[in-house]
């Protein structure tokens, strides 16, 4: 139950100046850097890395938007400008391995940067956490506060359908000893939260309902008290949905990293 884990965040520039190189670079992403809710996820993840003793580094102010929303909104020029300058920075530091808590950054760096000259091993934090748990590096306290509690997992499109990652986040949740309940639409048929494809940055088109409300209804109907997410945009959408349904007193929306950080020994 150690929410007061230490936080020590070296930058790649610092490490390099000391003649060292990290095991892995943590790509924080724009949401993780600027969005208040997502920043808590960033910190939770850093605390886990610190607790496990992983030698990592962040880019700090040298990081910049991957270009995902620009590309998906059709502005290929802007996307490629962003991509190229990020690749220059990453290649400049000779980065080999990247972990990120954002499925959009994950997808873009992993699938779209190679064509532009950026080749890295890219891991999403759900897979990374699963790996650390399986290797016994993350030790969770026995009979944690999640024991028997109902948790439902909302699939991020950019992890699931886009990259076939369905099981890693579920295995992480199972490690919490929680009662994982599935929504009817899950895995390959999981309903989008409504934020992808740059929708996060504009009002939705006219319709009967907002997508995040429809998805929140799916999640609430499971009776779960925790909606677990693995994406900062899903986080915003589902949190707004829960507020809209006036359920924030009984239902919490949490990222995998936060749940693990709370349960870590």
Is 161 near other proteins (CB under 8 A)? yes
State the Cα–Cα distance between residues 105 and 85, nearest whole angstrom.
Answer: 15
As given in the structure block, the two tokens for residue 94 are 């000779």
State the Cα–Cα distance between residues 242 and 227, nearest whole angstrom.
Answer: 10
State the Cα–Cα distance between residues 226 and 151, nearest whole angstrom.
Answer: 5
Please state the separation of Cα 137 from the chain's center in Å.
20
The burial of 192, by beta-carbon neighbours within 10 Å (0-12 exposed, 13-18 middle, 19 or more buried), is given as buried
Rank residues 178 and 183 by Cβ distance to other proteins and give the closer one.
183
Per the CB < 8 A criterion, the answer to whether 83 and 66 are in contact is yes
> Taking Cα atoms as reference points, which of 154, 147, 160 lies closest to residue 220?
154
Q: What is the largest CA-CA distance in the chain?
A: 58
Is 43 near other proteins (CB under 8 A)? yes
Among 2, 91, 141, 164, binds other proteins (CB under 8 A): 164
Rank residues 195 and 229 by Cβ distance to other proteins and give the closer one.
195
- Where does this chain touch other proteins (CB under 8 A) — which range of 14-22, 168-176, 186-194, 256-264? 186-194
Rank residues 85 and 225 by Cβ distance to other proteins and give the closer one.
85
SS3 at position 24? strand
Show contacts with other proteins in window 53-92 (CB under 8 A): 58, 60-61, 63-65, 67, 69-78, 80-82, 84-85, 88
Rank residues 60 and 145 by Cβ distance to other proteins and give the closer one.
60
Closest separation in Å from C-beta 142 to other proteins: 26
As given in the structure block, the two tokens for residue 81 are 């400008």
SS3 at position 149? coil
- Where does this chain touch other proteins (CB under 8 A) — which range of 15-23, 38-46, 121-129, 175-183? 38-46
Is 250 near other proteins (CB under 8 A)? no
State the Cα–Cα distance between residues 150 and 227, nearest whole angstrom.
Answer: 9
Closest separation in Å from C-beta 100 to other proteins: 14
Show contacts with other proteins in window 84-143 (CB under 8 A): 84-85, 88, 107, 111-112, 115-116
Among 167, 189, 243, 265, binds other proteins (CB under 8 A): 189
**Count of residues binding other proteins (CB under 8 A)?**
71
Rank residues 103 and 144 by Cβ distance to other proteins and give the closer one.
103
Rank residues 179 and 182 by Cβ distance to other proteins and give the closer one.
182
């Amino acid at each position: 139950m150690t929410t007061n884990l230490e936080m020590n965040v070296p930058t790649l520039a610092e490490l390099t100046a000391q003649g060292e190189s990290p095991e892995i670079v943590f790509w924080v992403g724009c949401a993780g850097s600027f969005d208040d809710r997502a920043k808590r996820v960033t910190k939770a993840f850093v605390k886990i890395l610190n607790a496990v003793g992983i030698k990592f580094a962040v880019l700090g102010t040298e990081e910049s938007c991957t270009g995902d929303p620009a590309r998906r909104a059709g502005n290929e020029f802007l996307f490629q400008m962003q991509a190229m300058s990020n690749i220059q920075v990453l290649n400049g530091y000779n980065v080999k391995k990247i972990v990120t808590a954002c499925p959009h950054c994950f997808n873009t760096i992993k699938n779209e940067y190679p064509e532009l000259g950026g080749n890295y091993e890219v891991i999403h934090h759900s897979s990374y956490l699963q790996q650390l748990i399986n290797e016994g590096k993350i030790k969770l306290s026995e009979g944690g506060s999640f024991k028997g509690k109902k948790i439902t997992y909302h699939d991020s499109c950019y992890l699931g359908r886009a990259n076939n990652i369905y099981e890693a986040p579920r295995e992480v949740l199972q490690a919490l000893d929680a009662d994982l309940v599935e929504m009817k639409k899950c895995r390959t048929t999981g309903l989008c939260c409504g934020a992808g494809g740059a929708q996060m940055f504009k009002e939705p088109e006219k319709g009967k309902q907002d997508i995040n409300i429809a998805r929140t209804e799916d999640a609430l109907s499971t009776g779960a008290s925790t909606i677990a997410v693995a994406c900062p945009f899903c986080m915003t959408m589902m949190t707004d949905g829960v507020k809209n349904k006036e359920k924030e007193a009984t239902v919490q929306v949490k990222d995998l990293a936060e749940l693990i950080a709370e349960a870590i020994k």
